[in-house]
Amino acid sequence: MLMSKTLTRTICIKLDVDGHEATLAATQRAFNAAASWIAQVCWYEGITNTNTAHHRVYGETRLNFGLGAQLAVCARAKAVEAIKAVKARHEETCPQFGPRGSVRYDARTYRLMSLDRVSLNTLDGRVVCRLVLGPRQHAMLIDPAWEIGGADLVWRRGVSYLHVTQSREAPETPEASEPDGGTLGVDLGIVNLATDSDGETFSGAHVTIVRKRYHLRRQRLQTVGTKNAKRRLRKTSGKERRFQRDVNHGISKALVAKAAVSCKAIALEDLTGIRQRVTVRHEHRYVRHAWAFFQLRQFVTYKAAWAGVPAHLVNPKNTSRTCSACGHCEKANRKSQETFLCQRCGFTLNADYNAAINISRKEWAAVNRPMASPLAG
């Protein structure tokens, strides 16, 4: 199997805190006073375990420093980590933090909003600040290859910065050499989300069931129409998206790992292919799930890039109608969604498998061309 490790990087972004300077300063003071106190408690009581630390200091942190639940958790995390770092260096001094030391934010205490806004937890609830983004920082921030993690609010010489952490998996040996094991063709569809030219299928059956469940829930909530129902409707569609994203992550990871291990390149149909090949009775069904296809291709492409696996786009013309045994091309070859039966040589195979083989043999239409994404952000 492919060995992988996690890479992290930090983007330092200047913050425009216009109007919130005093609130942020007060939050920093309270946060660092709390972290210093927690560090002392843990240091002198010999607590290094995160859970033990939590139970010992959580209530008092909230009571004495006015921090909300999540910021209290972040202060404890900062203190415990600092102690571990000090001990790792075999030093004998309890770590303490200045009043303008950094404030740690996690997924529950900060949120990157559309374009260039960030919402931060403070002593006075959430405040929204503007990110002063240069083109490079912007590109780093929206890069789909990197997952956004926590952030630190850092104050330096009168200016506030947000240090956003990103991480991604990377293979230990990202050899970018041209593979010699041939090409793994991948056919994307609705019934089978992905089928490769080795005949491996990633079924969409489970996904279809879950989608149906979400669909029914949506319908029910739409007929209710109350404010609460609308809120739950938004929540439901978020859940569905996350489910689909997880499925796409799983499939793309498996495909790329397989190509990497067998030294193969990956070939996918060019973007327009989906539209031509998916026969959908109800147009809206295509529209609703189009983003899922785009996302799956996007995931395959960027994961291939990390793994040093070349990803190629091929012209989708006739891939589903051509016989992979004799090359005969005819519309009637595709008997049904599921079955391919050659009208000339009688060769029969699962239709998606047959298409994937054809894709693996196609001339490369474009090499490593970046795919346009409707999912930016």
DSSP code at position 127: E
Closest CA to 321 of 187, 208, 120, 216: 187
- When the beta carbons of 64 and 339 are compared against Zn ion, the nearer one is 339
345 binds Zn ion per the rule CB under 5 A = yes
Q: For the CB of residue 324, give the shortest distance to Zn ion in the complex, in Å.
A: 8
Q: For the CB of residue 317, give the shortest distance to Zn ion in the complex, in Å.
A: 18
What CA–CA distance (Å, rounded) separates 128 from 19? 10
Is the Cβ–Cβ distance between 34 and 72 less than 8 Å? yes
- How many residues touch Zn ion (CB under 5 A)? 8
335 binds Zn ion per the rule CB under 5 A = no
323 binds Zn ion per the rule CB under 5 A = yes
228's CB contacts (< 8 A; 6+ apart) are none
342 binds Zn ion per the rule CB under 5 A = yes
Strand blocks (E) in 240-338: 265-269, 311-314
Q: At residue 375, what is the residue type?
A: L
Cβ-in-10-Å burial (0-12, 13-18, 19+) of 323 comes to buried
The two three-digit tokens of residue 62, written as one number: 């909230």
Strand partners, 268: 186, 313
328 binds Zn ion per the rule CB under 5 A = yes
Half-sphere exposure of 375 (CA within 13 A, CB side): 17
Stretch that binds Zn ion, among 69-77, 123-131, 187-195, 343-351 (CB under 5 A): 343-351
361 binds Zn ion per the rule CB under 5 A = no
Q: For the CB of residue 355, give the shortest distance to Zn ion in the complex, in Å.
A: 14
Among the listed residues 326, 366, 367, 375, the single contact to Zn ion using CB under 5 A: 326
Stretch that binds Zn ion, among 111-119, 230-238, 347-355, 363-371 (CB under 5 A): 347-355
Stretch that binds Zn ion, among 195-203, 285-293, 324-332, 351-359 (CB under 5 A): 324-332
Stretch that binds Zn ion, among 216-224, 250-258, 268-276, 322-330 (CB under 5 A): 322-330
The two three-digit tokens of residue 274, written as one number: 């989906």
Q: For the CB of residue 270, give the shortest distance to Zn ion in the complex, in Å.
A: 25
Q: For the CB of residue 165, give the shortest distance to Zn ion in the complex, in Å.
A: 54
What CA–CA distance (Å, rounded) separates 160 from 314? 48
Q: What is the pattern of x (binds Zn ion, CB under 5 A) and - over residues 275-314?
A: ----------------------------------------
- When the beta carbons of 43 and 340 are compared against Zn ion, the nearer one is 340
Residue 148, Ramachandran bin (φ over 0: left; ψ between -120 and 50: alpha; else beta): beta
Would you tell me which residues interact with Zn ion (CB under 5 A)?
323, 325-326, 328, 342, 344-345, 347
